[in-house]
Structure 1
Amino acid sequence: MQSLNVPSSANQRGLSSSRFHVFQRDYERYEGVPRLNIYRLRLLFTLVFFFLTYESWAHILTHRGPWDNANAAAWFMWGSYSVISVIGIRRPLKVRPIVLFEVVYKVAWLSVVAYPLWVKQELIGSPAESMTRVFIWVVLPIVAMPWRYFLRTHVWGAPAVRP
C-alpha cells in the first residue's frame, strides 16, 4: 500500500492533504488563515473588480456638468474600491480593512435606512429600494472575511499563531 504524503497533524485528524487542504491553516503563506478564506477573499475582490470597475469608471469619466458632492463621493469611493480590488486579488490579507469598511457601512445603512422602511412596509417603491438590492449582497464580504484572524491581529493585537 502506497502511503500518502500527508503531514502528521492531518493524518491524526484523518484528513488527506489532497482533499482537504483548503480547510487547513497556511502558516507559511497566509499567517495561519485557511486557504478557503483566502480563496473566498480573492473571489470577492474578483467580483468587485468585474462588477464595479466598468460601471463606476464609465460614470465618472463620462459625467457632464457639476457634481453633487455626496453623489460624487459615492462614485469615486466605488471607483477607488474597484482599483483596490486588484491588490486584493493578489494580496487578499493586505486589504482586509477595506472589507471591514464595506461590511460596516452596508450593514449600518441597511439597519438604519432600509430596515425601518421594510418594517413599515414602505421599502418597495421607495428611493431606498434599489440601494437595498445592492447592499443586501453584504453577505458575500461577511462570509469571505477571515474574522478570527482579523480579531486576533487587529482587535486583540496578537501575532499570527504558529502550530
Structure 2
Amino acid sequence: MPDASRHPLIRFFAPDPRHEGVRPIQLWGLRLFYLLMLVFVAPTAWQVLLSHEGPWEPLRAMAWTVWATYPALALFGLFRPLRWLPLMFFTIGYKAIWLGFVAYPLWQADTLWGTPTGEVAAAFLAVPLLAAVVPWGYAWRTYFGWSRRNAGAPVTAQAMPG
C-alpha cells in the first residue's frame, strides 16, 4: 500500500520542514496575493501618479504613493514569500483599520453600498483570505520571538531575527 504522506496533495497541506514548518499551500497563497497586488494595485496607482496634473492634496498624494510602493515591493514577495511577510502585515493592518473606521460606520448607517467608499470596502473584504494564508506560527516565532517552547522565557538578542 502506498504511503499516503507521499501523495502530492497531502504534502501541499502538510508542514514542510524545508520552510520552517510552513505549509506549501500557504507559500503559494502568499505568492498569489503578492501577484494580485502587482497586477491590480500597482498599475492603477502608477497611472494616477504619472497622469496627475497640478498640485496634489497632500493626504491623497500620500495614499497614492503608498499604493504605488507596497505592490512594487510585492515583486520581492513572489520570490521570497516568508521574508516579505511584513508587507502582508501592513496590507492586512491598513485594510482592517480602514474597514473598521471608515466602512463600518457607513455600513451601520446603511449608507455604504452604492458609493465609492462601498467599492473600496468590497475590494478590502478579502482581508480574511489574506489572514488565512499567513503562517501565523512562523510569524510569531520569526518576528516576535515567541513560540510554545519559549513561552515565558526572556527574549534574547540571539532569538531575535536579524
Quick check: TM above 0.5?
yes
Q: Which runs of 5+ in 2 are unaligned?
A: 148-158
Q: Check if 1:150 corresponds to 2:139.
A: yes
TM-score (norm. length: structure 2): 0.81
User: Which residue does 1:66 correspond to in 2?
Assistant: 55
User: Which residue does 1:106 correspond to in 2?
Assistant: 95
Q: Check if 1:16 corresponds to 2:6.
A: yes
Shift of 1:82: 1.6
Shift of 1:43: 0.6
> Which deviates further from its counterpart, 92-101 or 130-139?
130-139
User: Which residue does 1:42 correspond to in 2?
Assistant: 31
Preserved contact between residue 48 and residue 85 of structure 1 (Cα < 8 Å)? yes
CA offset digits 1:41-82 (Å, max 9, x no partner): 001111111111211111111111111111111111111112
Q: Return the alpha-carbon distance in structure 1 between the equivalents of residues 9 and 92 of structure 2.
A: 31
Alignment of 1:113-152 (within 5 A): 113-126=102-115, 128-152=117-141
More helix by share: 1
Of structures 1 and 2, the one scoring higher in RCO (CA 8 A, sep 6+) is 1
Q: Return the alpha-carbon distance in structure 1 between the equivalents of residues 135 and 54 of structure 2.
A: 42
**Residue type matched to 1:52 in 2?**
V
User: Which residue does 1:90 correspond to in 2?
Assistant: 79
Q: Number of residues paired by the alignment?
A: 148
> Which protein is bigger by CA-based radius of gyration?
1
